[in-house]
Amino acid sequence: MTTEFATPPATKSFPVENLGRLVFKNAEEAPNDVAVLRLVGTDWTEVTCAQYLQEVKGVAKGLIARGVQPGDRLAIMSHTRYEWSLIAWAAWAVGAVTVPIYETSSSAQCDWILTDSGATFAVVEDLELREVMTSGTEWSGDIMVIENDLVAQLTASGADISDEQVEQASLAMGHEDRCAIIYTSGTTGNPKGCEILHGGFGGVVVAVEQQLQDAFVPNSRTLIFLPLAHVLARILEVACFYKRVAVAHEPDTTKVVERLAEVHPTFLVSVPRVLEKVYNSAAGKAEAAGGAKAKIFKAAVQTAIDYSTAIEGGGKPSTGLALKQKLFSKLVYSKLHDALGGECNRIISGGGPLGARLGHFYRGAGFDLLEGYGLTESSGVLTVNPVGQAKIGTVGRPIPGVTIRIAEDGEILAKAKTLFNGYWQNPKANEDSWTGEWYHTGDIGELDSDGYLSITGRKKDLIVTAGGKNVSPSQMEDLLSADPLISQAVVVGDNRNYIAALITIDQETFPAWRDKHGKTGEVADLLQDGELVGAIQDAVDQANKSVSRAESIRKFKILAAEFSVESGELTPTLKLKRNVVHDRFGSEIEALYSDN
């Protein structure tokens, strides 16, 4: 083990003045290469680099005519789709700063992001999301609706804007200027806005190119199904435009398998949850079939894991294991490859931890599985496993230009020129997060002697679901505890498919509730009582209104007794000892997920 590892800076620089200029560069150097695959009706249409530039310029002219100027903040709230991407590139082309908002965000969250960022323009997908955005705020910026034929409207309204005006606006920003303010959940309070620089995203894609060598090959294809409000999706799209990889979009996760069969991506970038679903679907079908098929699938899974383990670090499998892997490649693994479009040979996993067993399975099944690690604050990427040198169970080595240090308390610290510019208008958060040039990630980890990083925990209590969504437990806990019947709440869900909670009943208010409802006994006697459970469900439903669906509580468990200092769950100052609760009520937490 080591405590610090640095990778030398990339050998080249980001080639254009700012992100928006990538679209101009691609059209000039490779006008006939495919930039985007767009779904029109039931057919995928190829949009070349030259065609895409014309569309970007058309929207950019409309934004200029609308009054958008360099430095203005423009919020985008929509599912992942062609227009989301097009408008974002057009915004960068006129020097605007994008402010992504998850389409699942609540009105309260929209209000905070719009007002805190100082956005003066906003784009929403449809009238329903417009209602969500505006119902809980006094923000009075200019709102545009994608499904009101926005692209055509902007193109038409900007007809009098000259190419020279767009060219001038597109050169307004440099590497040290903001390109985006991306809001990320913290452990307490409102989301914090991360100032991402053009040179931050640009520097990361150049470094990733060098680290992954041939992973992003020009004229290859990928499908983006992650929310474009997520930093992983944003940096992926920038990398694809930088390397001229054709990009397709699909917002509906239930249609991803269908789209993969149509697009035939050559590589995928995914969060662990999607990889889990693909595996679980295959395992479920085999289990349902029973008999020989179930036995074959189980044997194939174990063979893939054994094979991947054997080749770790340049090792070689035994002859027998190699033959078994080859046999199952035809019987089982080929079907998995077909499910991912038939041409995908590399999977990059990020946005949350991927279990070593699942990682070994995918690699043993014939995919080049590369896990990486990053934060919004790191412009998306800090480490990634190199092509041909992956260590399953780690998140790889620092990308060029990044230094990782393990502090005395185990916290992962990072230093790089590609780190974000700080938290927007939040000096206290900046003071708490930096020590000189070192950013405190809040994660706990270890570095091996080769510089491979393993994430072992979280210094603070931020939950990251299996889908890669950051969730602040304290916000929901505070909302639940505001209900008179609830004493304490502990939100759980780290690396799980959904959020759940342990809830205790207030012993002072409980007797009155019990008498009012004609009950007898103590809390322990009424844990399954329909009215008590219903009352807590009402409180949960009310709290869920303040957060996105990904952050909402799906299940809860009422405990028999309150937490206390005496029983060890609380500190003398009545702060929750979260680790004690997790250990003491581990079986109850597991039961909240046992059906899934």
Per-residue model confidence as pLDDT tens for the chain (596 residues): 889 999 999 999 999 999 999 999 999 999 999 999 999 999 999 999 999 999 999 999 999 999 999 999 999 999 999 999 999 999 999 999 999 998 888 899 899 999 999 999 999 999 999 999 999 888 999 999 999 999 999 999 999 999 999 999 999 999 999 999 999 864 346 889 999 999 999 999 999 999 998 777 877 999 999 889 999 999 999 999 999 999 999 988 778 889 999 999 999 999 886 787 787 678 767 766 778 988 999 899 999 999 999 999 999 999 999 999 999 999 999 999 998 999 999 999 998 778 788 899 999 999 999 999 999 999 999 999 999 899 999 999 999 999 999 999 889 999 999 999 999 999 999 999 999 999 999 888 899 999 999 987 667 777 888 888 878 687 788 788 877 788 899 999 998 999 999 999 988 788 888 988 899 999 999 999 999 999 999 999 999 998 888 889 999 999 999 998 778 887 533 567 888 899 999 999 999 998 65
Fold of 472-593: GMP Synthetase; Chain A, domain 3 (3.30.300)
**In the prediction, which pLDDT does 506 show?**
85
Q: Cβ neighbours of residue 397 under 8 Å, at least 6 residues apart? A: 5, 7, 211, 383, 384, 385, 386, 450, 451, 452, 453
What Å distances lie between residue 495 and 30, 273, 280, 362, 593, CA to CA? 42, 9, 16, 19, 12
Q: Say whether domain 18-173+218-265 belongs to CATH 3.90.1150.10.
A: no
Task: Give the Cα separation of 569 and 580 in Å (integer).
Answer: 6
Q: Letter for the amino acid at 469?
A: K
Closest by CA to 433, choosing from 401, 459, 395, is 459
Asked if 370 and 349 touch (Cβ cutoff 8 Å), the reply is yes
Exposure of 155 in the CB half-sphere (CA atoms within 13 A) = 14
Exposed / middle / buried, residue 589 (Cβ in 10 Å: 0-12, 13-18, 19+): buried
The sign one gets for the Cα dihedral 142, 147, 149, 154 is: positive
Closest by CA to 376, choosing from 52, 32, 100, is 100
Residue 102 CA from chain centroid, whole number: 11
**In the prediction, which pLDDT does 522 show?**
95
Asked if 207 and 10 touch (Cβ cutoff 8 Å), the reply is yes
Q: Cβ neighbours of residue 559 under 8 Å, at least 6 residues apart? A: 502, 503, 504, 585, 588
Q: Look at strands 192-197 and 178-184 and give their pairing.
A: antiparallel
Common-topology check for domains 18-173+218-265 and 273-463: yes
Which conformational region is residue 422 in: left (phi greater than 0), alpha (psi within -120 to 50 degrees), or beta? left
Cβ density class 408-427: b for 16+ within 10 Å, e for less: eeebbbbbbebbbbbbbebe
The pTM (predicted TM-score) of the whole model is 0.80
**In the prediction, which pLDDT does 187 show?**
37
Task: Give the Cα separation of 32 and 439 in Å (integer).
Answer: 42
Asked if 535 and 513 touch (Cβ cutoff 8 Å), the reply is yes
Give the CATH superfamily of 273-463. ANL, N-terminal domain (3.40.50.12780)
Task: Give the Cα separation of 269 and 474 in Å (integer).
Answer: 30
